[in-house]
Amino acid sequence: MAKKICIISGAARGIGKATLYKYVAEGYTCIAVDRDLNALEQLKAEVSTEKAASITTWCVDLLHDQKELKDQLADYVPDTETHLTLVNNVGGSQEKRTPFHDISWESFNSSFVFNLKPVLQLTQACFPVMNRNQSGKIVNISSISARKTLKNVGADYSASKAAVIAVSRHLSYEFAEHGILVNTVCPGIIGTDRILHRWQNREEKINHEVLSGIPLLRLGTPEEVAEAVYFLGSEANQYITGAVLDVNGGMYTP
């Protein structure tokens, strides 16, 4: 029976953490990649001994060159048939939006580095294993900001997350001959710890305005995003590639 392995970046918190728990619950052995060692250790401490045995943690800063990742993954994955899934979840925006007419090129470019370099490095590391097995699933996490203009989100973040979609679509074509399916999930406003902290520390009026723009009138949960990511990255998906799945409570309907 083929071994099922899922590697998830940004796995120590938020959507990445919920996705990790979902894959573990479904019988996958998971590699949790994050640059926060303390958060990774806390993550393993939170789960049962049985589930912890299915989680390997790699403390890696994907914003720096990680040329050894390819060999590290090759050593970890058995030579027998393996179903490998990659969830590229690392990404984010600056806490405060900078107007386009004021933003420097260095700051604008830093959003692309933050949201695309981890995708590049982990995808290149996973490709040899997927190519060897002529199968694999890649799910890239973008954002509603790549699909719909939000007034509190800067152009740099929107552009970098739109680039994630473009890269995914290109890879879905380039990798098809290798049996690798590549898709994108675009979360809306999701109640991660970071978002909830911001939510609790600003005016109720602003929160009400945000909710009024969501047809379902509530924030999403990391677990709801994880369900979508799991479907696209699991063996249940055999024919969907190049797709963009919006998980946003109806904020954007293409």
DSSP 178: G
Per-residue pLDDT of the chain (254 residues; tens, 9 = 90+): 789 999 999 999 999 999 999 999 999 999 999 999 999 999 989 999 989 999 999 999 999 999 999 999 989 988 778 999 999 999 887 667 899 999 999 999 999 999 999 999 999 999 999 999 999 999 999 999 999 999 889 999 999 999 999 999 999 999 999 999 999 999 999 999 888 988 888 899 989 999 999 999 999 999 999 999 999 999 999 999 999 999 999 999 98
Residue 26 phi/psi, 5-degree rounding, is -95, 10
By CB atoms closer than 10 A (0-12, 13-18, 19+), residue 63 is middle
> What pLDDT does residue 2 have?
80
Distance (Å, whole) CA 48 – CA 26: 15
Residue 76 phi/psi, 5-degree rounding, is -80, -35
Q: Say if 229 falls within a structural domain.
A: yes
Q: Say if 151 falls within a structural domain.
A: yes
Q: Say if 253 falls within a structural domain.
A: no
At 82 the three-state DSSP class reads strand
Reading the block at residue 227, the tokens are 């369900």
Active site residues: 157
Distance (Å, whole) CA 178 – CA 84: 13
Q: Could you tell me if 7 and 86 are in contact, meaning their C-beta atoms sit under 8 angstroms apart?
A: yes
Distance (Å, whole) CA 56 – CA 160: 29
What range does the domain containing 243 cover? 3-247
Distance (Å, whole) CA 130 – CA 125: 10
> What pLDDT does residue 45 have?
92
Q: Say if 159 falls within a structural domain.
A: yes
Q: Say if 103 falls within a structural domain.
A: yes
Residue 182 phi/psi, 5-degree rounding, is -125, 125
Q: Say if 156 falls within a structural domain.
A: yes
DSSP H/E element including 200: helix 193-200
CATH code where residue 163 lies: 3.40.50.720
> What pLDDT does residue 95 have?
64
Q: Could you tell me if 154 and 94 are in contact, meaning their C-beta atoms sit under 8 angstroms apart?
A: yes
At 230 the three-state DSSP class reads helix
Q: What is the dihedral of CA 102, 104, 108, 109, to 10 degrees?
A: 170
At 202 the three-state DSSP class reads coil
pLDDT digits (tens, 9 = 90+) for 137-161: 999 999 999 999 998 899 999 999 9
Q: Say if 162 falls within a structural domain.
A: yes
Q: Could you tell me if 12 and 45 are in contact, meaning their C-beta atoms sit under 8 angstroms apart?
A: no
Residue 55 phi/psi, 5-degree rounding, is -120, 125
> What pLDDT does residue 116 have?
97
Q: Say if 210 falls within a structural domain.
A: yes
Domain count along the chain: 1
